[in-house]
A = this chain, B = another copy of it.
Amino acid sequence: MKDVARAAGVSHMTVSRVVNGDTGVTQERAARVEQAIKELGYQRNDLAHHLRSKRPSTGTIGLLVDDIANPFYSALARAVEDEAHQRDDLVLVGSTNDDPRREQEVVAAFCARRVDGLIVVPVAGSQRFLATQMALGTKVVCVDRPADGLEVDAVLVDNRTSTESAVRHLLERGHCRIAYLGDRQDIWTAQERYAGYLAALAARGLRPAPADVRHGVRSTAQAAAAVRELLALPDPPTAIFSGNNLMTIGALGALGDDGAKVALIGFDDFPLAERVSPAVTVVAQDPMGLGANAAALLFSRIDGDRSPAQTVVMRTRLVLRGSGEIPGPSLARSA
């Protein structure tokens, strides 16, 4: 900046004014400064800018998801980035891997860079440590899961009711042995989906066979293994509810030709769901919608919105494609 000032024959203050588009610089001098900037390839140091600037904004937000490689979260991330880009903000991305230690490390690193705000998919356990950062002015919005022990905005999906209607859908088609594949039980979405599963069964006076319930499925491979075990039972279930996109894909792999006989409904839509045979019935969420909403909420907070914390619950759609409409024993019998 000093170099530019010297080259343009003005003080560094004038350069600062030109760089920031401030009023109060003659056309002629402004042009000379612009010229010098171009020649020297000068670019303002945003770190120093934000250090002194009275607006405490750094124009950067942090996005913390479970795993950015998961298409659900990467779609969400894209939506967040698009919102941020519109207002010339940047996005730091971190994956927690559902590890509370990594979550805290990354949050700390983000906050050390003085991000204006955080969009977080909270890991199991307490998010109370976020309160410290919030007290310091960092805005926080949760997405996909609510924060534990913290009053913040959240953008969620009604996992429980969605799952309940999906499972009821299977029950109505004559299934009474419906297996459940779910993520770690300490994860909120898994809890909610499991609760919905139980509720649908309970409404019919049913309870799941213990062998039909598989918690803690963390990957496609584990889901496939779980399904193989289910199929190997002496009296296997006739339907499966799978708790997310990864599990559904694993289940498909393990089902193989049995896919025509065992009904399947998965949480999350995924590419090719309509191309496999039978096509997969899913509870479809809108990951980009989640991301866009979370970003909009966060930016309104950053821009000064101090209204009480709100929770946005987004709709899901049960997309009937075939796999969820395979009839169960009680219907098959009557047919």
Contacts and interface: CB of A to CB of B under 8 A. Distances in A.
Interface of A: 41, 43-48, 50-51, 58-60, 67-71, 73-75, 77-78, 81-82, 85, 88, 90-95, 102, 106, 108-114, 132, 135-136, 220, 249, 252-253, 270-272, 274-277, 288
B95 A78 contact: yes
Contacts of A81: 68, 93-95
Contacts of A277: 276-277
B275 A253 contact: yes
A276 B249 CA distance: 11
Per assembly, the copies of the chain total 2
A274 B60 CA distance: 41
Given A90-B94, A272-B249, A276-B276, A68 B77 contact: yes
Nearest to A136: B41
A88 B94 CA distance: 11
Contact of A109 (B67, B77, B90, B132): B90
A91 B90 contact: no
A82 B94 CA distance: 9
Nearest to A45: B114
Contacts of A276: 272, 275-277
Given A43-B112, A90-B110, A220-B271, 5 more contacts: A48-B51, A68-B74, A69-B78, A77-B93, A272-B275
A45 B110 CA distance: 11
A64 to B, nearest CB: 11
Contacts of A70: 74
26 contacts: A43-B112, A45-B51, A46-B112, A46-B113, A47-B51, A47-B113, A47-B114, A48-B51, A51-B51, A67-B78, A68-B68, A68-B78, A70-B74, A74-B77, A78-B95, A81-B93, A81-B94, A90-B106, A90-B109, A91-B92, A92-B92, A92-B93, A252-B275, A253-B274, A276-B276, A276-B277
